[in-house]
C-alpha cells in the first residue's frame, strides 16, 4: 500500500513537472559495511547528476528489516532496485562502475 | 579417516560424530544413523534423479519424526510449485508452514534483471537464511540448488568466496544442511561444490539400461564415520524414497531346525525329513510345462493351511488366472486370500528395473510379514537385466530372506541346451539350500513328468527320480517302478505293471495246478492204501478162517466142507465196497 501511494505521488510529480520520467529507487544495504557506504554515496551522486528533481531514493538496511529481503528477493548486497520506470531492474554492487549503473537505470542507450 | 564401528551409531559418547537421522528408509542404515549433524551434506546427481525429493523428505521427516523444524531455500521452484510437487507423496507443506515448522524461501535470480556495478557480497541471502532459521528455530536447512546462483551472477570468484562463507555460516548456526547440485561432466557438480562440502557427499544416479530405469545411490564420502560404500538402488514411490538396505550382513544368520511341509506328500518323503527346513531357500527348476507353478501353489496351500502367512510373487500369471488354474487341480487358494494368509502380487517383470522389483519385494515383505515367500518364476527377471545383475539381486534377496528367517521358494525356467538341464542361468544354485528338478521324461512317444531332488542341505534325500502326475487332488507322486532299463514312467510303467500282473496271475495258476495235482496224487495214494489194507484184511480173515477150520475139522468134518464156499464170497464183497 505504501508503495502504491509513493508510486502515485511519483506519478503526480511526473505529471506536474511534465519533464522526463520519475525514478523510484530503493537501495538495500547491510549496515555500515564499506560496500554499503560506497553504494549510498555513489547512488546519491549519480542521482543528483542525472536525475535531479525526478527521483525518489529510499535506503533500507536489511539487517533492520530482514523480512524485506525475502519480499524483495534480495540476495546480494548492496542492491539497488529500480521500481519505476519499468522494467524492474536490480543493480548489485557498490555502484562504483558509473557506466554500468547508468546502463542499469536505462539512462544510457545500450 | 578413523573408522571405529562403535562410534557411529550411539549419540552418547562425546567424541563420536553426531548424526541427524533422515528418516528415509534404508538411508539411515547405510549412513549408520543419518547425515552429519550440524554440517553440510551434498546430494548431487543428474536431472530428475530425486535430489530435491530426498532433501524435502529429509526436512519433512525431521519435522514430523524428530521435531526439528526446517528451512527450504529453493532456487528453482516456487513455494507453491514445491508444495504441489510433493503433495503426491503425502507431504502437506502448507500445514507444516502454518504450524511454523517449515519455511520455504524461494530465491529468484534472473540474470537479465541484474546489473553488476561493483563489489558485492551475498549478505542478502545470508540475512534471509538467518532470519528464516531464527524465526522457526530450524535445525535442518536445504539449499536447492545453490548452483543456480552461478547462472544468475557473473562473478564466480565472489560467488565461490561467498559460498564458502555460507557453509561456514551454516556450520556456526549448527544446522544440518543439505545442498543439492546438478552433476557435471567430469565433476560431481557443475560448479565443483564438492570442494566446499567435505563432510558428506551422496551421489544419486538414474540409469536407463534396456529401456528400464534404475535409480541408485552411493555415498561418495562421509568423514568421520563408517558407511556403506556400494551403489544402493533406491525407489521413489507414493511413500517417498526408500533405499535398499544393506546387501549382506554376512553369513551369520540364525537357523531353524523346524521342518515345513512341501505340501506334496511324496516329496516330503523324498526329502527324508518330511519337508524343508524353515528359513531355507528352495529352488525348483524345470523346462516349460513341468508343473513348477503347481508345486509352489501346493506349497502355498499347505503353508496357509497351517495358518502361516505366504506372499506369492507371480511374474507370469495374473492373480485370477492363477487362482482359476489351481482350482482345477484341487488347490483352492481363495479362502486363504480372504483370510489374509495369502497375498498374491502379480506383475510383469518389465514393469520395473530389477532393483525396483527388489525394493517392491522388500516393501511388501516388510508390510505383510510372511513366513513364506514364493517367486514364480524368478528366471523371468532375466529379461530385464543381465545375468550378473540378476544374480546380484537374487543374492541380496536371498540374504534378506534368510536374515528374516523367511522360507523362500523360487522357480526357474530352464531352457534345455544339450544335457545341461541342471544349469540355472543365474548360477544361483550355490545360494539355495534345496534344489528340486522337475523334468520331462520322454520316451515311447510320450512325455512324462519326473521329479528329482538335486540337493537338500542337511537332509538325507532320496536319489530316485520319481514320476508324478497332476490329478484333481493336486500333485501325486507315483511309486517307483524299476524295470530292466531303469525307472519306468508313463505307459511303460503301465505296461510294466500289466506285465507284472500277468506274471502274477500265471504264477498263481501254476500254483493252483500243482495243488490240484497233489490232491489228485494223494487221492490215488489213499485209494491204493485202502486197497492194500482191504487185501491185507481179507488175507488176515482167510488165515483166521483156516486156523478155525483146522480146529473144527478135528471135531466136525461136515463143516470143513462147507467152509470153502464162504471164503469165495468174502473177496467179492470187498471188491464191491
Q: How far is CA B190 from CA B79, B144, B207, B495, in A?
A: 25, 14, 19, 78
The pLDDT of residue B206 is above 70: yes
Q: A70, A38 in Cβ contact below 8 A? A: no
Q: B76, B143 in Cβ contact below 8 A? A: no
Q: Identify the CA nearest to B305 among candidates B270, B331, B344.
A: B331
Which of A56-65, B473-482, B555-564 has the highest mean predicted lDDT (pLDDT)?
Answer: A56-65
Distance CA B231, CA B234 (A): 9
> In chain A, what is the straight-line distance between the N-terminal and C-terminal CA atoms, in Å?
34
Distance from CA of B141 to the nearest CA of A (A): 16
Q: Could you tell me whether strands B200-209 and B70-74 are parallel, antiparallel, or unpaired per DSSP bridges? A: unpaired
Distance CA B179, CA B41 (A): 6
Nearest to B124 among A74, A93, A103 (CB): A74
Residue B209: helix, strand or coil by DSSP?
strand
Distance CA A49, CA B423 (A): 90
Report the length, in residues, of chain B: 577
Helix (H) or strand (E) holding A71: helix A66-71
Q: Which residues of A3-36 are buried (b: 16+ CB within 10 A; e: fewer)?
A: eeeeeeebeeebeeeeeeebbbbbbbbbeebebb
CB-based burial label for B271 (10 Å; 0-12, 13-18, 19+)? buried
pLDDT in tens, B104-142: 888 888 888 888 888 888 888 888 889 889 998 888 999
pLDDT of B11: 46
Domains plus CATH for chain B? 21-110+121-243 (3.40.50.300), 260-494 (3.40.50.300)
Provide ipTM, 2 decimals.
Answer: 0.79
At B75, phi and psi to the nearest 5?
-100, -10
Interface of A with B (CB under 8 A): 28, 30, 33, 35, 38-39, 42, 62-63, 66-67, 69-70, 73-80, 87-97, 100-101, 103-104
Nearest to A97 among B109, B118, B149 (CB): B118
What is the CA A85 to chain-centroid distance, rounded? Answer: 11
User: Number of residue pairs across A and B with CB atoms under 8 Å?
Assistant: 105
> Do A75 and B116 lie within an 8 Å CB cutoff?
no
What is the CA B35 to chain-centroid distance, rounded? Answer: 33
pLDDT in tens, B70-112: 999 988 888 888 888 888 888 888 888 888 888 888 888 888 8
The answer to which of A2-6, B227-231, B323-327, B449-453 has the lowest mean pLDDT is A2-6
> Do A77 and B120 lie within an 8 Å CB cutoff?
yes
Domains plus CATH for chain A? 26-104 (3.40.30.10)
Residue B338: helix, strand or coil by DSSP?
helix
Distance from CA of B168 to the nearest CA of A (A): 17
pLDDT of B13: 46
The pLDDT of residue B371 is above 60: yes
Residue B537: pLDDT band with limits 50, 70, 90? very high
- Lookup result for grid cell 557480497: B121
Interface test with A, best of B72, B103, B123, B134 (most A CBs within 10 A): B123
DSSP secondary structure code for residue B424 in this structure: -
> Do B127 and A96 lie within an 8 Å CB cutoff?
no
Q: Identify the CA nearest to B362 among candidates B493, B245, B209.
A: B245
Given 3-state DSSP classes, what are the helix, strand and coil percentages for chain B, each rounded to the nearest 5? Answer: 45, 25, 30
Residues 6+ apart with CB under 8 A from B190: B147, B150, B181, B182, B183, B184
> Do A75 and B107 lie within an 8 Å CB cutoff?
yes
Distance from CA of B252 to the nearest CA of A (A): 55
pLDDT in tens, B47-77: 888 888 888 889 898 898 888 899 999 888 8
What are the residues facing A92 on neighbouring strands? A79, B116
The answer to which of B119-123, B434-438, B493-497 has the lowest mean pLDDT is B493-497
Whether the upstream peptide bond of residue A87 has omega within 30° of 0, thus cis, is: yes
Residue B545: helix, strand or coil by DSSP?
helix
C-alpha cell at B550: 483146522
The Cα diameter of chain A in Å comes to 38
Residue B125: helix, strand or coil by DSSP?
helix
Residue A6: pLDDT band with limits 50, 70, 90? low
Give the residue ranges of DSSP H helices in B109-240.
123-136, 148-152, 156-173
CB-based burial label for B567 (10 Å; 0-12, 13-18, 19+)? middle
pLDDT of B5: 44
Q: For the beta carbon of residue B2, count every other beta carbon within 10 angstroms.
A: 10
Q: B106, B142 in Cβ contact below 8 A? A: no
Amino acid at each position: 500500500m505504501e508503495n502504491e501511494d509513493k508510486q502515485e505521488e511519483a506519478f503526480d510529480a511526473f505529471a506536474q513537472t511534465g519533464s522526463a520520467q520519475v525514478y523510484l529507487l530503493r537501495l538495500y544495504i547491510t549496515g555500515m559495511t564499506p560496500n554499503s557506504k560506497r553504494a549510498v554515496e555513489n547512488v546519491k551522486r549519480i542521482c543528483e547528476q542525472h536525475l535531479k528533481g525526478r527521483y525518489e531514493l529510499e535506503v533500507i538496511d536489511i539487517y533492520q528489516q530482514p523480512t524485506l529481503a525475502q519480499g524483495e528477493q534480495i540476495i546480494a548486497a548492496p542492491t539497488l532496485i529500480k521500481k519505476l520506470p519499468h522494467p524492474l531492474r536490480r543493480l548489485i554492487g557498490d555502484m562504483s562502475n558509473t557506466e554500468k549503473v547508468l546502463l542499469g537505470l536505462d539512462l544510457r542507450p545500450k | 579417516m578413523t573408522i571405529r564401528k562403535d562410534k557411529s551409531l550411539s549419540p552418547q559418547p562425546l567424541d563420536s560424530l553426531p548424526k541427524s537421522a533422515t528418516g528415509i528408509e534404508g538411508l539411515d542404515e547405510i549412513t549408520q544413523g543419518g547425515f552429519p549433524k550440524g554440517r553440510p551434506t551434498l546430494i548431487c546427481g543428474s536431472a530428475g534423479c530425486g535430489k530435491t525429493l530426498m532433501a524435502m523428505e529429509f526436512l519433512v521427516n525431521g519435522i514430523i519424526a524428530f521435531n526439528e523444524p526446517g528451512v527450504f531455500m529453493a532456487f528453482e521452484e516456487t513455494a507453491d510449485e514445491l508444495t504441489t510437487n510433493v503433495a503426491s507423496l503425502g507431504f502437506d507443506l502448507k500445514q507444516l508452514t502454518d504450524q511454523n515448522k517449515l519455511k520455504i524461501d524461494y530465491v529468484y535470480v534472473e540474470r537479465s534483471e541484474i546489473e553488476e556495478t561493483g563489489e558485492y557480497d551475498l549478505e542478502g541471502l545470508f540475512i534471509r537464511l538467518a532470519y528464516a532459521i531464527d524465526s522457526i528455530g530450524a535445525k535442518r536447512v536445504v539449499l536447492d540448488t545453490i548452483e543456480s546462483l552461478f547462472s544468475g551472477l557473473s562473478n564466480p570468484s565472489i560467488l565461490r568466496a561467498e559460498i564458502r562463507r555460507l557453509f561456514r555460516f551454516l556450520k556456526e548456526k549448527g544446522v544440518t544442511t543439505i545442498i543439492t547440485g546438478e552433476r557435471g561432466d567430469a565433476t560431481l557438480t557443475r560448479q565443483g561444490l564438492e570442494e566446499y562440502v567435505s563432510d558428506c557427499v551422496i551421489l544419486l544416479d538414474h540409469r536407463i539400461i534396456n529401456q528400464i530405469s534404475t535409480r541408485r545411490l552411493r555415498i561418495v564420502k562421509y568423514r568421520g564415520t563408517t558407511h556403506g560404500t556400494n551403489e544402493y538402488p533406491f525407489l521413489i514411490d507414493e511413500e517417498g524414497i526408500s533405499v535398499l538396505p544393506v546387501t549382506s550382513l554376512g553369513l551369520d544368520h540364525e537357523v531353524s531346525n523346524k521342518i515345513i511341509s512341501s505340501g506334496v506328500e511324496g516329496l516330503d518323503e523324498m526329502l527324508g525329513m518330511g519337508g524343508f527346513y524353515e528359513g531355507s531357500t528352495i529352488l525348483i527348476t524345470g523346462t516349460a510345462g513341468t508343473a513348477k507353478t503347481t508345486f509352489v501353489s501346493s506349497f502355498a496351500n499347505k503353508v496357509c493351511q497351517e495358518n502361516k502367512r505366504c506372499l506369492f510373487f507371480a511374474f507370469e500369471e495374473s492373480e485370477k488366472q492363477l487362482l482359476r488354474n489351481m482350482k482345477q487341480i484341487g488347490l483352492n487358494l481363495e479362502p486363504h486370500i480372504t483370510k489374509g494368509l495369502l497375498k498374491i502380487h502379480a506383475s510383469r517383470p518389465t514393469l520395473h528395473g530389477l532393483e525396483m522389483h527388489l525394493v517392491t519385494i522388500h516393501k511388501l515383505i516388510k508390510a505383510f510379514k510372511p513366513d513364506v515367500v514364493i517367486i514364480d518364476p524368478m528366471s523371468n527377471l532375466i529379461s530385464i537385466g543381465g545375468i550378473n545383475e540378476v544374480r546380484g539381486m537374487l543374492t541380496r534377496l536371498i540374504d534378506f530372506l534368510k536374515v528374516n528367517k523367511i522360507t523362500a521358494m523360487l522357480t526357474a525356467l530352464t531352457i534345455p541346451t544339450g544335457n545341461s538341464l541342471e544349469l540355472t542361468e543365474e548360477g544361483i544354485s550355490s545360494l539355495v539350500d534345496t534344489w528340486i528338478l522337475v523334468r520331462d521324461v520322454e520316451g515311447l512317444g510320450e512325455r512324462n513328468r519326473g521329479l528329482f531332488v538335486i540337493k537338500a542341505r542337511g537332509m538325507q534325500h532320496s536319489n530316485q527320480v520319481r514320476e508324478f502326475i497332476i490329478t484333481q487332488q493336486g500333485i501325486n507322486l507315483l511309486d517307483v517302478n524299476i524295470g530292466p532299463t531303469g525307472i519306468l514312467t508313463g505307459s511303460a510303467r503301465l505296461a510294466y505293471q500289466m506285465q507284472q500282473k500277468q506274471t502274477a496271475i500265471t504264477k498263481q495258476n501254476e500254483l493252483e495246478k500243482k495243488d490240484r495235482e497233489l490232491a489228485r496224487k494223494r487221492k490215488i495214494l489213499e485209494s491204493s492204501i485202502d486197497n492194500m489194507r482191504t487185501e491185507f484184511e481179507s488175507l488176515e480173515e482167510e488165515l483166521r478162517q483156516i486156523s478155525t477150520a483146522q480146529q473144527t475139522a478135528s471135531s466136525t468134518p461136515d463143516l470143513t466142507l462147507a467152509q470153502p464156499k464162504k471164503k469165495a464170497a468174502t473177496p467179492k464183497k470187498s471188491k464191491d465196497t
